[in-house]
Amino acid sequence: MTARMIMKLRVASARPTTPEVLHLRLVHPQRTELPAWTPGAHVDVRLPDGRIRQYSLCGDPADRTQYEIAIKREDAGRGGSAWMHANLSPGSCAHVSAPRNNFPLVEAASEHILIAGGIGVTPFVAMARQLAAEDRNYVLHYCAPSPGRAPLLDELRIICGERLRGWFSSTGNRFDPAAIGPPRAGVHVYACGPQCGFRRKPATHSDAKPASVPI
């Protein structure tokens, strides 16, 4: 494994996208462009005590002036997300790695079915943006406790339009696997959420696991 470049980035903006999730825009204080990345990529954020947390990039891959990540506060966690919520405000700095991608889009697929649970939606924001720009065939199923607790929902409504399907337990509308449809040649399913099993507890970033399979 090769070492990854670590950059000291400045927080350009920090806003809540839900009461529990902080959306950050990160820029380089001196350079106009950051390393390129592709949808599904993530970065490491290094905390002052040496701990590392990984976050999917949820911005526009075509915009190399900034990185965007979304951090869910885990009050019962080990303190990393709570520290970032308390300390990463506009003007502060974060140590962030160059991106890498372990969850890429399958370019040869004829159709993409994206299934997100809570904070597991973050890699799909960039995926949906690229698929929409290329006029590709896709749908995004978004599972969350309620619209008010669905991170980045407003952005996805703009990006996806009618290709966004919301599944919110507050309305009794839980995700139905039958919505995927029968196996079809060329179709790939991507899932990111708690163990990719969408357990009843709200999704957390620490247990959000991505997977991509053909059906």
Q: Does a structural domain hold residue 102?
A: no
Question: The domain spanning residue 56 has which CATH number?
Answer: 2.40.30.10
pLDDT value for 79 = 84
Taking residues 198-208, what's their average pLDDT? Answer: 36
In tens, the pLDDT along 159-202 reads 999 999 999 999 999 999 999 999 899 999 999 997 544 433 32
Give the total number of structural domains in the chain. 2
Residue 132 pLDDT > 60: yes
pTM metric for this prediction: 0.89
The verdict on 117 and 204 lying in the same domain is yes
The verdict on 15 and 46 lying in the same domain is yes
pLDDT band at 3 (very low <50, low <70, confident <90, very high): low
pLDDT value for 77 = 78
Question: The domain spanning residue 203 has which CATH number?
Answer: 3.40.50.80
The verdict on 116 and 185 lying in the same domain is yes
Q: Say how far residue 82 (Cα) sits from the centre of its chain.
A: 18
Q: Where are the beta strands (DSSP E) in the chain?
A: 6-18, 21-27, 42-46, 52-56, 67-72, 93-97, 111-117, 138-144, 164-168, 187-194, 208-214
Q: What is the span of the domain harbouring residue 20? A: 6-97
Inter-CA distances, 102 with 5, 72, 161, 171, Å: 17, 21, 27, 34
In tens, the pLDDT along 4-44 reads 799 999 999 999 999 999 999 999 999 999 999 999 999 99
The verdict on 126 and 208 lying in the same domain is yes
Range with the poorest average pLDDT among 1-10, 40-49, 81-90, 112-121? 1-10
Backbone angles phi, psi at 117, to 5 degrees: -115, 110
